[in-house]
Amino acid sequence: MNREVKKVFVLTTAMLSFISFWKAGSVVLCDFASSAYYAGGIAAKAYGSAFPYFILGVMLLSGFLLMAYIESSSLFVRGGVYVMVKNAMGKTMAKISVAMLLFDYLLTAPISAISAGLYLGYLLEVVLPHFNIHIHFPPQTIAVIFSILVILYFLRKNIKGVKESSEDNVKIIVFVGFVAVLLISFSLYTIYKNGFKLPEFRFSFTDESLGVLKYFDFIKPVGLIAILIAFGHSILALSGLETLAQVYREIEDPKIINLKKTVIFIFVFAFIFTGLLTFFSSVIIPYDKIINEYSENLLSGLAMSFAIDYKLRIILKTLVVVSAVLILVGAVNTAIVGANGILNRICEDKVLPDSLRKLHPLYGTTYRIIYVVAILQIIIVILSGGNIFLLGEAYAFGVLWSLTFNLLSLIVLRFKKNEEREWKFPFNIKVYDYEIPLGLIILFLFVFTLSFINLFTKMIATVSGIGFTIVLYFAFSYFEKKQNTIEDIHKIDENIDEEKINISTENEVLSVVKNFTKPQKILVAVKNPNNLIHLDAVLKEVDDNLVDVVVLYIKVEKGYEYAVNFERLLPEEKELFKNVISISEKYGKTVHPIMIFSNDPVYSILSLAVSGSFNRIVMGVSANIGSEVQLENIAIKWGLVRPKDFNSTIEVNIIWERRKLIYQLV
């Protein structure tokens, strides 16, 4: 009886690599912190010298919103606005919210790229004369050309499937942080040298910034109204928070603790970088100069206003521009990736035709979706003509309304899904048997008020945003009806993508096993996608640094017919691997899924355990034969598999609901 395991299929997917909170925070900051380069200037032009206080205020608000994202992430590992709203308020509202979010993503790339282009343009204006080049290139023209090139570059990169690397994000944030330290240091030096005066808390709303409110004499932009209007014009500094929901699944164990660290990191960085630097800009640069010269490149203006030698100012300005280009260009890619992800998810949900998700024949990416997104972004760039204020006007709609829906969903889910959460937004009051999420309600009311006021003060945003949402909603409804939507086959609280899973083959088990180098190895046998309690139990307790967890699926085949790609696996097998990945993401711990063909699963499990020097085998209980008979089979097969010179112990665990059987193979 010599049945060696010959062929092993190793499933690999990028989803099974997890990142530290530094990297996760850097990924988010590459989107969120990029608004530091344009939010202040846009706000200053919209409502006057009080802008730095409101940018600081928005950064403080971001802290509360980040806390809300912690709670929503604890509910859904693969969360985000669509999942949250769908579970709280149903598919119709989810479609509306995702249309708004798409609007946000479609504008993020143009505004980021245009901003980077403007920084570059203004730098060239100063630097080129030093090289005796006296051709004047209007910065807005440079911005448009630059933006189109950047979007085309990332279009190509995403078609080819080159994934954004979190390592690159860390490098960008480190460099941006370095520039921030320089800017803060020289700001403090300049303030020390020249003295300072706090910016005036004064509003000077333009007709554009009042929107339709200017037609209502009884609504005066003073007091609380003015504050809310000003807040609404500053809210574009919040763009990028949704990235946290997307990146949560990649955070390593312990997930919620690391998520909290990520949030603190993001908040502190953004508060200092966006909030403080904008404030220093308002203190150091005279307000008129901000409006007339530096509204499109505020941080460059800050560098040029320091009380230092001119050449040093140029060097600093160059560093600012390099940091601007790096982080803003990164935000362009995040927007394309984000839009691609959202559209994939709603195609999966049969809200858009699945043909849109057709894979590229060579690269296996959803190239049609990427093309649609990139083309729309280029059209927006061209229509804007490099006018960042126009884009800024339109921008806040998607940001605010998707946040509003997200918060409302969180409140609804407190009642609808009132199970224990790993973390809850604070300030909850118990009234009889109910817990009222007062903190969330206050936050929601504030954000909703801003969203509501913005409908009247940001007419471009309102018209384009509502128009876009309506068009997209009807498109969704049309295609959904056309496809005779079937019931969502996924679990109601998880929406798992059919993301790319690669299968590679190894001709010997040993060549697979040699990759597992941690001190301990656990082999988890899986079969039933609805019975993974044992895998959950293992991942809950295991130390990812010390233990390799190999998840083994044995495909029982009499004829040894090998399926060579994921597409040929049965639906329940795909479901099994998706659920394995989902549990792995839940705990942020890496697993190595492998698949073997065999007509004797127990024999193969034991054989692999011996060849791979595994310390433990974990199985779920067999519904057909029960745990005792299962162990008897294992014991008998162990007699067949056990090498004569075996001088170790393998522990066998059979785990099911609240029970665990342990047996030592010696």
What are the residues binding another protein (CB under 8 A)?
1, 625, 628-629, 631-640, 642, 646-647, 663, 665-666
| Between 465 and 601, CB nearer to another protein | 601
3-state helix, strand, coil in the chain (%, to 5): 65, 10, 25
Comparison of 429 and 625: residue with beta carbon closer to another protein:
625
- In angstroms, the CA 604 to CA 568 distance is 22
Q: How far is the CB of 634 from another protein (least distance, A)?
A: 8
Q: Between residues 241 and 634, which has the closer beta carbon with respect to another protein? A: 634
The number of helices, as runs of H, and strands, as runs of E, in the chain is 24, 10
User: How many CA atoms within 13 Å lie on the side-chain side of 26?
Assistant: 20
First to last CA, the chain: 20
CB 79, min distance to another protein, A? 45
Residue 27 CB, shortest distance to another protein, in Å, is 50
Phi, psi of 458 (to 5 degrees): -120, 80
CB distance 353 to 479 below 8 Å = yes
Considering the complex, state which of residue 499 and residue 632 has its C-beta at the smaller distance from another protein: 632
Closer CB to another protein, residue 112 or residue 653?
653
* CB atoms near residue 279 (< 10 Å): 20
Minimum distance, C-beta of residue 603 to another protein, in the bound complex (Å): 11
Residue with tokens 């085949």: 557
What residues have CB less than 8 Å from 366, skipping those under 6 apart? 340, 343, 344, 356, 357, 358, 359, 360
Find the helix or strand (DSSP H, E) in which 42 lies.
helix 39-47
C-alpha to C-alpha distance for 402 and 649, rounded to whole angstroms: 55
Cβ closest to another protein, residue 134 vs residue 644:
644
Distance of closest approach, residue 3 Cβ to another protein, in angstroms: 10
| 8 A C-beta contact, residue 89 and residue 408 | yes
Q: Which is nearer to another protein, 543 or 628 (CB)?
A: 628
Q: Where are the alpha helices (DSSP H) in 271-387?
A: 277-284, 287-289, 298-304, 310-348, 367-384
Of the two residues 510 and 635, which places its CB atom closer to another protein in the complex? 635
Cα–Cα distances (Å) from 219 to 44, 51, 226, 303, in that order, read: 22, 21, 10, 39
**Which residue lies nearer to another protein by CB, 362 or 662?**
662
DSSP three-state, residue 653: strand
Shortest distance (Å) from residue 659 CB to another protein: 13
Say how far apart CA 163 and CA 283 lie, in whole Å. Answer: 41
| Residues 96, 102: Cα–Cα separation, whole Å | 10
The Cα 15–Cα 479 span in angstroms is: 30
Nearer to another protein by C-beta: 5 or 335?
Answer: 5
User: Could you give the CA distance from residue 79 to residue 494 in angstroms, rounded to a whole number?
Assistant: 8
Q: Which is nearer to another protein, 445 or 625 (CB)?
A: 625
Q: Residue 386 to residues 140, 151, 329: CA-CA distances in angstroms?
A: 5, 14, 15
Q: CB of residue 647 vs another protein: minimum separation in angstroms? A: 6
CB of 635 to another protein, least distance (A): 4
- Residue 616 Cβ vs another protein, minimum distance, rounded to whole Å: 17
Q: Please, what is the minimum distance in Å from the beta carbon of residue 561 to another protein?
A: 21
**Helix (H) or strand (E) run with residue 9 in it:** strand 8-12
Q: CA-based diameter of the chain, in Å? A: 95
Structure tokens at 666: 């010696």
Alpha helices in 161-276 (DSSP H): 166-194, 207-210, 223-234, 242-247, 255-270
Nearest CB to another protein, comparing residues 17 and 649: 649
CA–CA dist 180, 194 (Å, integer): 20
Work out how close the CB of 619 gets to another protein at its nearest, in angstroms, rounded to a whole number: 15
Residue 497 or 600 having the CB closest to another protein:
600
Q: Collapsing DSSP states into helix, strand and coil, what is residue 361?
A: coil
CB of 639 to another protein, least distance (A): 3
CB of 609 to another protein, least distance (A): 14
Q: What is the DSSP string of 75-127?
A: H-SS-SHHHHHHHHH-HHHHHHHHHHHHHHHHHHHHHHHHHHHHHHHHHHHHH
| Distance in Å, CB of 530 to another protein, minimum | 24
Radius of gyration of the chain (CA): 28
Nearer to another protein, 421 or 642 (CB): 642
Least separation in angstroms between residue 640's CB and another protein is 5
Beta strands in 347-451 (DSSP E): 429-431, 434-436
| Nearest residue (CB) to another protein, 237 versus 641 | 641
Which lies closer to another protein via its Cβ, residue 444 or residue 614?
614
Containing H/E element for 468? helix 459-482
Min separation Cβ 649 and another protein, Å: 9
